[in-house]
A = this chain, B = another copy of it.
Amino acid sequence: MRIRLVTNNPHKLAEVSQILAPYGIEVERLGAEKVEVQHDDVAEIAKKAAENLCVRYGDYVVVEDTGLYIEALGGFPGPYAEYVYRTIGLSGVLKLLEGVANRRAVFRCAAALCLGGRVEVFLGEVRGTIAQVPRGIGGFGYDPIFVPEGLGRTYAELGDDVKNKISHRAQAFSKLATWLTTTASKRA
């Protein structure tokens, strides 16, 4: 089985490939233009973007959207995490949290799959905190400053093998894989 992931981020492509490999699902990149509704909820963004692309590209297209919601910053950077990373970077986010005691944050991932003219959305969520300084060399993006609850180490310190079993993205895509290999194959 093969899905077509709409993304321009090579890190996400690699992660999703690693997450889906144990399910025997291959991942191909689809370089389609994603249009997005303005919404704070990644599920809504992924769903609407998929609905738009399903019509043109058909079955097994998957749109992924991820947000990092920092409680003390009113949910910032939320669904605009990639843009914020690219402009003010981790140092900017850490500067915004200088002197802020509440470091709580949530990583949310939504994977929206086109199948049979419908869109199915799968969610993953990991609660955690924002570290005082970047730590670790694994992963990408916010991984050096995100500490999943109870683990005491950042995603970047945990490394790809561990991260890709427990992360927000791992949860969303594992649900998608389970659904594809059970429910969907029964319907076929």
Contacts and interface: CB of A to CB of B under 8 A. Distances in A.
Interface of A: 33-38, 48, 52, 73-78, 80, 83-84, 86-89, 92, 95-96, 98
Query: Does more than half of chain A's interface fall in helix, strand or loop, or is it mixed?
Result: mixed
A87 B81 CA distance: 13
Number of identical monomers bound together in the oligomeric complex: 2
A127 to B, nearest CB: 19
Contacts of A34: 37-38
A83 B86 contact: no
Contacts of A74: 86-89
A22 to B, nearest CB: 31
Contacts of A52: 35
Given A74-B86, A96-B96, 7 more contacts: A34-B37, A35-B35, A36-B37, A38-B83, A73-B87, A73-B88, A88-B96
A34 B45 CA distance: 12
Q: Nearest 9 CB-CB pairs, A to B?
A: A76-B87, A74-B87, A35-B35, A76-B88, A80-B80, A73-B88, A36-B36, A75-B87, A35-B37
A52 B80 CA distance: 22
A88 B73 CA distance: 5
B76 A48 contact: no
Contact of A48 (B35, B80, B95, B96): B35
Contacts of A35: 35-37, 48, 52
A72 B67 CA distance: 24
A13 B80 CA distance: 25
